[in-house]
Amino acid sequence: MRVSSQHLSMFVLLGSLHIASSCAAPQSTPPAAERQAAVAVPGTGQTTATVRVETGVLQGAVSEAGVSYKNIPYAAPPVGDRRWRAPAPAERWDGVRDATRYGRDCMQNRQSWDSMAPTQPQSEDCLYLNIWSPASAGEKSKLPVLVAIHGGGFVAGAGSQAVLDGSKLSARGAIIVTFNYRLGRFGFFAHPALSAESPGSAVGNYGFMDQIAALQWVQRNIAAFGGDPANVTVFGESAGGESINYLMLAADARGLFAKAMVQSGGGRSPWPKLSEDRPNLPSAEAVGRKFATKAKVASDDAAALRAVSAAKVLGGISLIDNDGGTYSGPMIDGRIVTAAVSDGFAQGRQAQIPYWIGSNSNEFGFLPGFLLGRSNSKLVEQFGFDEAQLIAGYGSKDAYEANFASDVTFTEPARYLATAAAAKQPVYLWRFAYVVESKRKSSKGAAHATDLPFTLGNLAANGDKIGDADRLAAQQFGDALIAFARTGVPAIEGQPAWPRYAAKEGRMVEFSEKGIVITSAASLALDAIAQQFAKRTSAP
């Protein structure tokens, strides 16, 4: 799930849940790949393989599924004086670096109820990525590359999560990449002292700078693993999907990926500006000053801020806590993020590449009724909507109460962005409605993030009891994703062809236990939400 302080409308406020040129500069082109023969590791039952990248030689692990390389530094550790700076190039190493185990996760407060949370030790030194490739891949293979950007509300998650293990999807003929990026106040923090020391440079959204640096690393190095740098697909769920929407608008991310898939990525969330207060939304720098006061950093002293302990910087930030209003989350910084994603797409400024976007059929289905009602009220209040008009759009108060929170947060924004982009590029709008066999009697639809175990085929990651029908559905989901990565068109053998979305026809795909169903994106309820957004004098 994704929540940051400005996303209070989604969880926290409800009381229910709570790059610019300064980015890492490209290094010299790495030498030709040297994928060596597998070597047995005595007593482990494993074999290893090596590959050379721009900073040295990596030793990965070989399994029946293929080869994995983990804990690969894509940038220098952002510690000490590098805290709250753009990522610097990774340092070279001598000899062979062990890449058979995950590295450290970025600093975060984990929630006991999050069954898909990462489990590695944590550190500020966390800018590492992981790669899976088929055993037969070689330097000249030019396989499609899929890069996952993890979710977690910009405050949690990691490339090491079991649900993101790339071995199953990679075995089907693709290179899979996952990576960490700075989270919480380590990744999204602004303060006048930090802005003053970097005039004209990107500040504040360090997590986005990390994402761009990781994608730049992929461009420079992925051929060594058998991947095609000209055919990179980014995909992400929740905050990962929201990141992709903004990267599609970021000048420094242009050309780093050729296709994009967004799962429950929102698109209407209000983000604060770097230094300018907005109605009911203080600037990120104002929030940063509040944190500095709490941390007893009295002066505008960047060095003193960087000297604050990691424990204090982490604070109580989590998916349900913005640490007393001292965490702003991502912001409109004027360099990487220049406007709300809805505005950028409306103006046609997004990368014009194949775009697969959608949401789940019952995103907030995990909430009990009384909390869902509270959520609706808070959302109506935050966005200044007319509740009576919304209820009229839904046709009944019961339908409104059951669906509004999901629709305004995820469903309508996905349709809006699809409509805005469809005139410029191939767009595929979809709805994930599949519920695992063991939960069909108790569930009213696919809740937020329940699509994630199907994305890479890791069905056990959520702790659900899995049946044969679930495995088949995951196989089909993987078929569609691999086809999209190869050709830009989702396709499943034996299932109806996915229609390209166009606002006039409004056809979309629903993926459920019935397989692929072509349906209509038309909805009076979503129209009512869209009309309410259009009436607002300022973009969300």
- Cβ atoms of 154 and 187 closer than 8 Å: yes
Burial class (CB in 10 A: 0-12, 13-18, 19+), 162: middle
For residue range 277-298, list pLDDT tens digits in order.
998 899 999 999 999 999 999 7
% of the chain beyond a pLDDT of 90: 82
Please, which pLDDT band fits residue 12 given cuts at 50, 70 and 90?
very low
Catalytic residue among 242, 363, 412, 510: 363
For residue range 38-66, list pLDDT tens digits in order.
554 444 455 779 999 999 999 999 998 89
% of the chain beyond a pLDDT of 70: 91
Tokens 């505008």, residue located: 300
- Cβ atoms of 481 and 457 closer than 8 Å: no
In 303-338, which positions are buried (b, 16+ CB within 10 angstroms) versus exposed (e)? eebbebeeeebbbebbbbbbbeebbbbbbbbbbbbe
What is the pLDDT, as a whole number, of residue 31?
Answer: 43
Q: What is each CA distance from 33 to 4, 36, 312, in whole angstroms?
A: 41, 9, 43
Rounded CA-CA distance 150/146 in Å is 13
* Mean pLDDT for the stretch of residues 94-113: 95
Q: Model pTM greater than 0.75? A: yes
At position 230, the amino acid (one-letter code) is: A
**Apex 167 CA angle, 232 and 448, nearest 5:** 75
Does the annotation count 150 as an active-site position?
Answer: no
Distance of CA 414 to the CA centre of its chain: 15
The pair of three-digit structure tokens given for residue 211, joined into one six-digit string: 């994402």
The pair of three-digit structure tokens given for residue 374, joined into one six-digit string: 């509270």
- Cβ atoms of 207 and 152 closer than 8 Å: no
Mean pLDDT across the chain: 90
**Nearest residue to 433 via CA among 377, 528, 345, 363:** 363
- Cβ atoms of 121 and 106 closer than 8 Å: no
What is the pLDDT, as a whole number, of residue 35?
Answer: 53
Q: What residues contact residue 181 under an 8 Å CB cut-off, 6+ apart? A: 106, 127, 149, 187, 207, 208, 210, 211, 214
| Sequence-ordered alpha helix ranges (H) in 95-237 | 167-170, 184-187, 192-197, 206-221
Rounded CA-CA distance 514/84 in Å is 48
The pair of three-digit structure tokens given for residue 393, joined into one six-digit string: 């759009």
The pair of three-digit structure tokens given for residue 457, joined into one six-digit string: 């085929």
Task: Please provide the DSSP assignment of 277-337 as one string.
Answer: -BTTB--HHHHHHHHHHHTT--S--HHHHHTS-HHHHHTT-BTTB-TTTT---S-B-SSS-
Rounded CA-CA distance 51/384 in Å is 55
For residue range 158-205, list pLDDT tens digits in order.
999 999 999 999 999 999 999 999 999 999 999 999 999 999 899 999
Catalytic residue among 16, 160, 167, 238: 238
